Chain A
Amino acid sequence: MKKIEILTIESLNRSPLTIEGYLFEGSDPKAASVAIVGAMEGKTVLPLYSASKLVEFLRNEIGNKEKIRGNILIIPSINHYALNLGERFWPLDKTDLNMIFPGYGAGETTQRIAHKVFEALSGYDYGISLETRNDLSSCISYISLLQSGYEDIPSARKCGLRLIHHKEMKPTDTVSLQYNWQLWGTKALSIICPSDTKIETDGYKEIFESMVRFLYAIGSIEYKVMLGYDSNIVYNKGIEIVKTPKSGIFIPTKKTGASVAKEEMIGKIINALEGNVVHRIFAPCDGVITCVYNNGLILENALAFRILKNASA
C-alpha cells in the first residue's frame, strides 16, 4: 500500500488540510481498477467509517497481497475541515464539494480541491462515491445512478444492494463527482449511506460488504463475501411521498427498510408544547420505507417518509 498526497492547502489558523489517498497496487495489470471516495462532507460519519474500514481490510485482513489484483485507490476523506467542525460543507463559504466538479485548478479554493481530487480519480475503470442524502432525511443504503447517458447499470448491480435509484438528472447533478467521472470514462456510481452521526460498531457493514462484493465481482480482489440482493431498479414514479400536514415533534414508528402495509401507522406528530398527538401518519400503500425525515422536529408539509411501492419494485 502506498499513501499518496493529493493536495495540501494551508490555513491562516488551522493545520494544513492534507488530502490523502491509499493506493493498493494490484498484482495483475489487466485487472479492473477502482477508485473510492469516502466523506466529501461532514455531519455524517458512515461514508468515512466505511471507507476507512475498507482501507484496513485491504491492508491487514485480505491476507495475501496477491489477492489484490487491480489497482484500488481509496480517499477516505476530502473535507476534513468540515468533519472536524461537525459542519456539512466547506466551512468558510459553505460550498458543497459535490457541486463543484470537475473543478478548476486556477479557481476558488473549493474548485482547486475538486480539481486535484478529480485528477487523482481519473482513469480508473470503476468509481464509487459514498454520499448521504441532502434533504434532511436518512435512508436505507442504496445506489444512486444518474440517467446521464453514460451510466452502467450492470456494474451497479454488482454491489448487491437492495435498490438502484436510476435518477433523473437535475441541473445540479451536472457538477457532481459521479456525472463528471462518467463523462470522463469511469463507470461511476454513488452509494447513498444512512445519515447517521452516531454509529454502532457494525453500522458500516452493509456498505462495506457491498464494496467488497463489487471489488470481487469486477475482478479487483480475490475475496468472496456472501451474495447480495438482485437489485431493484427504482424510478421516481415508483416512490410514494408522505408529507405531514402538521408540525411538531416527529416520532417515526417504523424505520428505514421496514416493509409496511397500506394504512399501517408509520409515525406520529406530537404537539411540541402540550404533548398530545396531533397527527398520525399512515402508509398510503404497501411497500418498503426507503427514507425517513431525520430530525426530531418537523415543519408543516415537510416530507416525512418515502415509500417504495410494492407493485413498482
Chain B
Amino acid sequence: MQIKEIFSSQLPVGEKLTIKRNRFSPTEEKSGNKRVSIVSGIHGDELEGQYVIYLLATWLANNPNALRGTIDLYPGVNALGIDSITRGFPIYEVDLNRSFPGGDKEFLPGQLVDALAQDVKGSDIAIDIHSSNIFLREIPQIRINKEFSEATLPLAKKLNCDFIWIHDAVTVLEATFSHTMNKLGTKTLVVEMGVGMRLTKEYGVQLLNGILNLLKSEGIIVTDEEYEQREPFSSEIGDVFYINSPKSGLFVAELNHCAMIEKGQKVGSIVNPLNGEILEELFAPNGGIMFTLREYPVVYEGSLIARIFGNPDNEKN
C-alpha cells in the first residue's frame, strides 16, 4: 500500500487540493506483471465508485499474498467536487470528463485531467466508475464505444454487470477519460450504476465481485474464491426505448427501478401539486427491463424519465 499525490494545487486560502492514488503492489515484482487502475469521482456528485473502491481496498489489504500485479486506486478524482456536491470542477464549472486529454499548458482543470491520464498511462486495464447523475438511477452496466469494443467487450463480460451498452462513436465523447485511455492503449471500461449523491450497497458488492473476477481471470490476483457471474444482456441483441416527459411537472413513479415491464404498462404520472391535476400519464412504449428510472422528481418537458431495454414488440392486436 503506497499513497501518492498525483496532482496538487495550493488553494488561495490555507488549503491544498490533492488527488491521491493508492497503489497495491505484489510482494514479488516480476516483469510482465499487469497493472490495473480503478478510477472514480471524476464527477463530484457520483459516489457509488467510492464504496466499490473502499471494498476493493479492504479486500486487497486483507489478502496481501493474492496479488500478482499492480492495482492503482483513484477514488476521488474531482476531490473538491465530491466534498461540495458539485458535478464539475468547482470554481471553473467545467465537466472534467469533457476536458480530456488536457495538457500542461491548459487551464487548471485541463492540467488535472492530464495528470490523471499520464499517471494511469501504461496500465493494461482501467475501470472508470460512474453513478449516472442525481437525476437518474441505473442498474450496473458497462458503456462501451464501438470503436474499442473488440478489446474491451471480453473484459466487460467478466464484470458481473447486468447490461452492456455498446454505443456508436460520438466525437464529443473523445474528450472523456475512457476514450483518452483507450487511445493510449489502456483497455478502459466505463461502469454506470446507481444514482448520484447516494450509495447503493448491493450494487457495490456486485461490482466488487465483478472486479475480483476480472482480476482473477487476468492473473492479477490468485485466490480460491469463486465469483459467480451474471450473464449481462447486451445492446447488440435488443433495442433501447426512451421515455421523455411530455410535460413539465412533478414525476411520480408507479414502478420500481429494474422492473420487467410490458408494453402499455403505466410507468408513472406527471402531476401538478398546486391544483392536484394529473398532467400526463406515462406508459411503456415497449416491453423489457426498465434499466434507467428518473430519481429526481422535478421534470421539464423532455426530461428523461426511463429507458427500457427489450426486443421490439410485435404488433399484438
- Asked if B174 lies at the interface with its beta carbon under 8 angstroms from chain A, I say yes
B111:A301 contact, CB within 8 angstroms: yes
* Residue tally, chain A, CB below 8 Å to B: 41
204-249 of chain B: CB within 8 A of chain A: 242, 244, 247-249
Contact A301 to B108, CB < 8 A, known contacts A12-B249, A171-B174, A171-B175: yes
The segment from B4-12, B30-38, B184-192 that touches chain A is B4-12
- Please give, as numbers and ranges, the residues of chain B lying within 8 Å of A301 by CB-CB distance: 9, 108, 111
- Asked if A10 lies at the interface with its beta carbon under 8 angstroms from chain B, I say yes
240-273 of chain A: CB within 8 A of chain B: 241, 246-249, 272-273
A297:B13 contact, CB within 8 angstroms: yes
What separation, in Å, do the CA atoms of A175 and B106 have in the docked complex?
21
B250:A135 contact, CB within 8 angstroms: no
- Asked if A298 lies at the interface with its beta carbon under 8 angstroms from chain B, I say yes
- Asked if A93 lies at the interface with its beta carbon under 8 angstroms from chain B, I say yes
- Asked if B173 lies at the interface with its beta carbon under 8 angstroms from chain A, I say yes
B135:A9 contact, CB within 8 angstroms: no
What separation, in Å, do the CA atoms of A226 and B13 have in the docked complex?
47
* Residue tally, chain B, CB below 8 Å to A: 42
* B14 in complex: contacting residue of A11, A99, A112, A272, CB < 8 Å: A272
What separation, in Å, do the CA atoms of A9 and B301 have in the docked complex?
7
B248:A11 contact, CB within 8 angstroms: yes
B94:A134 contact, CB within 8 angstroms: yes
- Please give, as numbers and ranges, the residues of chain B lying within 8 Å of A170 by CB-CB distance: 175
A303:B108 contact, CB within 8 angstroms: yes
- Asked if A311 lies at the interface with its beta carbon under 8 angstroms from chain B, I say no
What separation, in Å, do the CA atoms of A111 and B301 have in the docked complex?
11
* B175 in complex: contacting residue of A88, A108, A172, A302, CB < 8 Å: A172
- Asked if B298 lies at the interface with its beta carbon under 8 angstroms from chain A, I say yes
Chain A, 184-222, contact with B by CB distance < 8 Å: what is the 0/1 string?
A: 000000000000000000000000000000000000000
B298:A107 contact, CB within 8 angstroms: no
- Please give, as numbers and ranges, the residues of chain B lying within 8 Å of A298 by CB-CB distance: 12
Chain B, 100-112, contact with A by CB distance < 8 Å: what is the 0/1 string?
A: 0000011110010
The segment from B85-93, B123-131, B259-267 that touches chain A is B85-93
B250:A93 contact, CB within 8 angstroms: no
A303:B106 contact, CB within 8 angstroms: yes
Q: Supply 17 A–B pairs (Cβ within 8 Å), ascending by A.
A: A9-B300, A10-B300, A12-B298, A89-B93, A92-B298, A92-B300, A99-B98, A109-B303, A110-B302, A136-B92, A171-B171, A171-B173, A171-B175, A249-B12, A299-B11, A300-B11, A303-B108
Given contacts A297-B12, A297-B13, 20 further A-B contacts (CB under 8 A): A9-B300, A10-B300, A12-B248, A12-B249, A94-B87, A94-B88, A108-B302, A109-B300, A109-B302, A112-B301, A136-B107, A171-B171, A171-B172, A174-B171, A174-B172, A247-B12, A248-B12, A299-B11, A300-B9, A303-B107
